[in-house]
Amino acid sequence: MNDLKSFEIRNGQTKNERYFKGYIEKQQLPSRMHYYGFQLHCHDAIKINLQTEKESSVYLCINLAEKSHLTMSCGIQEFSVPPYASVLVPFKRTETVAFHCDVNKRYDFLLLKMEKSELDTDQTVLLQKLQDHGLLLDASINSKTLAPNLALCEIARTLKKLDKATCENKFIAKGYCNILFGLKLKELLQIKETSSKLPHLRNFEIQQLEALTNTIKTYPHRQYTIKSLCKQTGLSVSKLQLGFKEMHNCTVAIFIRNIRLEKALDMLRNTDLNVSEIVYSVGLTSRSYFCRIFKKRFKCSPKTYQQQLRLSAMAS
């Protein structure tokens, strides 16, 4: 049993107005992957204990909060996970996992559990090597492993918003979990190779980048310029581009283009607008340019895609 002051954390969403506002979500996903999502505003200082089995699983904890550090303990070791950072807990430290939440603080984090039996020999050996290099939990957790990782946080938020109760979405959620474990391992390997990784962005800058990302996703039809985006966020051109590189692995311009293409794809699928109308609806001005970048991205012209959708609808 997992308990919160003798309160059971059930499958699905658990709420307890006595101790916190918000919820704790627990889901068992395919292939023995387990998901815990936490969205809490605590009325009292609480400790969340998760029952585990020694050396049976590996855990990935991701702190998505803007301001609150997350205090976590594994066995007798206690450490703090900064905002936008994550930590990978190796097998030997998973006998007990707990989170310590302070009164009147807001917490937003998730914990992924992968059972050891799901890893192949190479993956197990890699985790052991990373632990030997002090990149997992050791006597004094390596601060380099706790730098912000915006790309990882972006995917974690997508996973957290996903309805994980349906059968089909459980498979999607499992895929996101695998991506998150893979990104964390990639981050640790890069630290091992370079021997240093410094956080380039302050929390304020990260918050501005996240707000801007949401604005672009909500209003892809708006006309954006680097100058206006810098003015809006208070970031320099270099900080803006660096932030998008870290968060989305692309430039600002390419990110905007990709969002517009995804919006256009959705409109082709769910509206009766023709291609020209969709072009202008997503903020572009050239049909030929739109068709070129659409085909490059999706390996199919928008007109052909729309025709296939109509044929499929007629057949059904």
Over the stretch 21-74, which tens digit does the pLDDT of each residue have?
999 999 999 988 999 999 999 888 888 888 776 667 888 999 999 888 999 988
DSSP letter at 50 equals: E
Q: Give the pLDDT band (50/70/90) at residue 202.
A: confident
Q: What is the pLDDT of residues 272-294, one digit of tens each?
A: 999 999 999 999 999 999 999 99
Residue 129 in this model has a pLDDT that exceeds 90: no
Q: Give the pLDDT band (50/70/90) at residue 146.
A: confident
**pTM to 2 decimal places:** 0.74
Euclidean distance between CA atoms 87 and 63, whole angstroms: 9
Domain ranges of the chain: 3-194, 203-315
User: Under DSSP, is residue 106 helix (H, G, I), strand (E, B) or coil?
Assistant: strand
Q: Average pLDDT of the chain?
A: 86
Domain 203-315 has CATH 1.10.10.10: no
C-alpha dist (Å) from residue 316 to 272, 307, 311: 18, 14, 9
Domain 3-194 has CATH 1.20.1260.10: no
Cβ pair 54, 46 in contact under 8 A? no
Q: Give the pLDDT band (50/70/90) at residue 89.
A: confident
Residue 116 in this model has a pLDDT that exceeds 70: yes
Mean pLDDT of 242-255: 91
